[in-house]
Structures are given as C-alpha cells and as structure tokens.
Structure 1
C-alpha cells in the first residue's frame, strides 16, 4: 500500500485514463529543427526516441495549431494533415520505449514569430515589445476560428498517436494573454472578469474534448505569476482553473511561470517555482507537475513525499544527456 510517507519518484501516477509508471516527466523543450513548413524531421524521431527510456511521461515541444501562430520560424506544427504522418513516426519511436507522450498545442498570439506571421493577433492591441510589434485585437469571429484550429489540432494529435494533450497556456503566449489582466483589456465576454478571461481557455478545452472524448488525458501548462503588479498570481490563477477542473475539462496542471512581459524572475534557484506549485495543490484535486531546476532524485522524492507536487518535470539536463532520466531514477544524480 502506497501512503504519503512512502511516495517517491518511482510511484505510479494516474493522469486521465493513463497510469504513468513513475512520476518523472520530460518537460517540453523546443528543438528549433522543424522544416519551413513546420514538419517534424529525423532529428525529432532520434531526439525523443533516445530520451524516452524509463520516463513516466514525455511532453513533446510546443506544436503550433496555426501557421500564423508559430513561436519560432523553425517550430513544428500540427495545423494541417500533412504534419500527422511525420509526427506519428515520432510517437512510434517514443512508444518503442513503452513511454506515453503528450503533444503541447500552442499559439503564440502577440509573441508569434515575426518572420512567419502574416497577421499578429492578441486579445487586446497591446504589444509584448517593439520587436514583435502591436497586435490586432481579435474579433469574435477570429476567436471562433482559433478555437476551431485547436479542435482540428486535437483530431490530428489523436491520429498521430499522442497519448494525451497539453494545452500551452503559459509563457506569455496566446492563452496566457487571455488569462492575464495585463494583456487582456477586453470588455466583451472574453475579458473584464477572471471568469471572462478564462473563457477562451475553456472554449479551447471544450473543443478539444469534442474530438478526444472525456477519458483522453488533457492537461494545461500555466504560468503561475506574471512577475508584475496587477498581473496573475498563483492563487488568482488556481481559482480561475477550479471551474475547469469541476467541469472535467482538465486532468493535470503543469506549473511554470513568467513570459507575459520581458521580466525575468529575480532569483532562479533549485525549485524556485515550487511554492507556486504547492498553492495549486491546495486548490486543485488533479495532479500538479512541478518544474524548475529540480534535477536530483533526493529533491524530487522530497517534493512528492511532502505533497508539494505530484510529479516532477526535467528539461535542460535531458537535452544534454539522453540518459539523464534513467540516472535520476537510479539515484545517481
């Protein structure tokens, strides 16, 4: 019998209908290796396949739902049926290691790559900075079209063999822009109150669920704080997410921070985002994933045992060493 006192990184964890064999997650990290058309390449097949062994879950890098919403010019996408076949080769390589993989669906909004963005859009005409320029405020019909982009991306995600979806609602990209009062100044049904600012995310999740069904795992990645006065705080955002959980729209939450403004956290240290993850744990019942320089087994075990988070995600060390996940599970790091 597993109790709170005996929980560790090796304990299984259920997200939606999937039981993870352990609580070590590979965080989504961009590869900057997509083709000009947003297709995955042989690099992605080798990169993900070589890192999948032993992990409880992999979350693939940000994958654009629209050719007008790519985060970087060499992003990969899932905005046409052409992308599905190559992404299926990526998921097959990961499944060879008996590891489940989620796709991270994204749209950059006002932070879409200028080099490949024909029309920069956002909830409100507020720029991120001068380099990106001032976005156009989305009309209601454009919002409906974006929700449809997410629905079609979810359909392709299932066809490509992904075991679940992570909706990217963090790091200052489109959904985060809707959530934060600093970037959303709308006065219609998509802005003005916390509930209204959550509406776009809710619409996206409902659209995704219309394709995947209720048992298919769907999670969200959020930025717990904007690091600015008047912006989102962990408690604010956790309360905004509670109704989504109550409706059965999300199966887990992945906690990051920042990105809405060109502001960096003042003190980046091991587990610097952990207090925010702990606040989400206090407000939500679904699993909470912590990330942020949590790079050794003893620290990860302590986080899970103390109930600060349900799983731990690792990013950069796995970029540098394909076997880092195995080493962390073995306790050699």
Structure 2
C-alpha cells in the first residue's frame, strides 16, 4: 500500500533557488525553426507557450554559445547580445503561465553543423564520422575563449529572464567530447586522467557560477554511457559529477545517453535509461532527472516513489500534443 505521504509526480521539487510545482519536466527538443542568424522566432513563442500549462519546468532546445558551435543550421543561439531580446519574448510568454523555463547552453564541437561551421574543433583531432570531417585540436587559448563564451551566454540568459541554465554535456557534443576517453586523447591539463577530462566542464560551470551566483539554478545534462567498452559509464559519471556537486557547481543532473559515436542502444524500451539514472543518483544528493519513453503517470509515480530519480522529463509526446503534460499530471492510473 502506498502511504499518503509518498512522493509522486505531484510533489513539489526544489532545484537550486526555485521550487517546481511538480516533477514533470519538458525535455529540450529541437524545433529547427531558428533564423539563419540564430534568432528565436514567433514559432518558439507559440510552441513553448502552448506547452507551459501543467508542466513543472520547461527546458528550451539547444541554444548555441558560439556561432561556430551550432548543432544545426537552423539552431537558435545566445552568442550575441542581439539574441537576448528574441529569447526574452519566449520566457515572458511562458511566465504568463507561471512556469519556470531554463535555457540549454550548447556547443557542438566536432558535431557542429558543417553548413555553418567555419572551423570544426574538438579536444582531440578525432572525427565523429566522415560526414562531419576531422576536427582541429583546440589550443589552451581557444579553450579559454570557449569558457568565456559560456560565461557571456550565462549573462545573456539572465538578461533574457531565464529561470535557470542547463549545460549540455551529453549526446556527443563538445563538453561530452572532453569528458569521454574515447574522444579526448589530450595529455595536458584538459585530458589524461578523469580529473583532467572533467576540467573543461568544471571551468565552464565555474565561469557560469561567477555570473549567476550560487542561488541561480545550474543543471547539467549528461550521457550516462557511450555504448562502447572503454567509454563513459554510470559509475564513471558518478565519480565525475560528485566533486562538482560538492563544490556547489551544479543543482541537478539530467541523465540521457549516447551520441558520442554513431551507435545506438540495442533496445529502446520505456525507461531504458532509468537504470543509469538510478545508478548515478546513488552518488549524488542533488536531484536527478530521468528521461527516455516515460510516458505514463503510473510509471512516473513509481520512479519517483521508489527514488530511482527525482523528476521525469518528457519530449516527443509534447511535440505531438501540447496538452500532454496536463493530461499526464491529471491521470491517476
């Protein structure tokens, strides 16, 4: 029998300095509707506004911190002050529904869109595949410049009235490339040991925190596994993330998987990433967000009640049905 005081999808959750009304989160999902210059458009305003009812938190799609790091040619960006006004129209619309909204800051690294990338870069000169081509290995000064790009993006995120920041360190993009020994073969301070491979993420989070202060929510999306022997796995990620939590650099962890290599998991079933989220949660005190075909109220409630994760993120059903979150929250199977 479930006790009346058991945790559920309805239970409020605190992330950093904000309290979510429930534990259902809209995952970041690309819209492919940005302008050629990376501006958010009227589409984004209407898209996020129409999905803001019922959801506890919205995380905006990948938002590039550099013109040279866009994931797709029609990505949105936050790499100049001119982007701020367009993004603020999105946040102001969502706030009329009393829903918090986070921005997801990203850089594609070796997986940046070839159509709009002037110089493909990565921690090491190792290509993702033939379609992207071989990247140039970043110099220390270039790394420092990228960290400053995140710092400036954090400043613009606050100016655009976002309630928090998600740092994209998953799906094979730049920060993930630094974290994984498969893609990071550096022998300097930004490679080699686990500590070295974590340094770019640590320095990026510290630069963001220098702008936001300690009360502003900063979370990280990670890929729990590279789906290959010798790559990242949940145990390794737990050891990577714990010192960052201890130092107050992150307020929650959003657990996805894969993307570093052109390989797919053998079985994509409801909750297929949940065991990894639960394993990573064993290392951490900050909230852990589970994602991956968790589409029923009963499944989400069980995950939260059994403390396998602290919140659940959904993506594709919300693309198909703007009212899905309200229906899921209201449904008590």
Taking structure 1 as the reference length, the TM-score comes to: 0.98
Deviations 1:54-89 (A, max 9, x none): 111000000000000000000000000000001000
Distance 1:3 1:241, change over 3 A: farther
2:257 matched to which residue of 1?
A: 257
2:207 matched to which residue of 1?
A: 207
- For 2:17 and 2:84, locate their aligned partners in 1 and report how far apart those are by CA, in whole Å: 23
Shift of 1:4: 9.7
- For 1:51 and 1:215, locate their aligned partners in 2 and report how far apart those are by CA, in whole Å: 26
- For 2:95 and 2:322, locate their aligned partners in 1 and report how far apart those are by CA, in whole Å: 16
RMSD over aligned CA atoms reads 1.2
1:236 matched to which residue of 2?
A: 236
- For 2:229 and 2:311, locate their aligned partners in 1 and report how far apart those are by CA, in whole Å: 30
Structure 1 unaligned regions, length at least 5: none
1:77 aligns with 2:77: yes
Shift of 1:5: 6.0
Q: Kindly indicate whether the alpha-carbon contact (under 8 Å) linking 1:4 and 1:306 is maintained by their aligned counterparts in 2.
A: no
- For 1:239 and 1:313, locate their aligned partners in 2 and report how far apart those are by CA, in whole Å: 23
Give the count of matched residue pairs.
332
1:329 aligns with 2:329: yes
Shift of 1:140: 0.1
- For 1:222 and 1:21, locate their aligned partners in 2 and report how far apart those are by CA, in whole Å: 24
1:87 matched to which residue of 2?
A: 87
Runs of 4+ in 1 over 4 A off after TM superposition: 2-5
Q: Kindly indicate whether the alpha-carbon contact (under 8 Å) linking 1:5 and 1:305 is maintained by their aligned counterparts in 2.
A: no
1:287 matched to which residue of 2?
A: 287
- For 1:332 and 1:5, locate their aligned partners in 2 and report how far apart those are by CA, in whole Å: 16
- For 2:127 and 2:3, locate their aligned partners in 1 and report how far apart those are by CA, in whole Å: 49
1:9 matched to which residue of 2?
A: 9
Shift of 1:281: 1.1
1:308 aligns with 2:308: yes
- For 1:174 and 1:99, locate their aligned partners in 2 and report how far apart those are by CA, in whole Å: 30
1:109 matched to which residue of 2?
A: 109
Deviations 1:187-243 (A, max 9, x none): 000000001000000000000011100110000000000000110001101111110
- For 2:238 and 2:303, locate their aligned partners in 1 and report how far apart those are by CA, in whole Å: 19
Shift of 1:3: 7.9
Taking structure 2 as the reference length, the TM-score comes to: 0.98
1:98 aligns with 2:98: yes
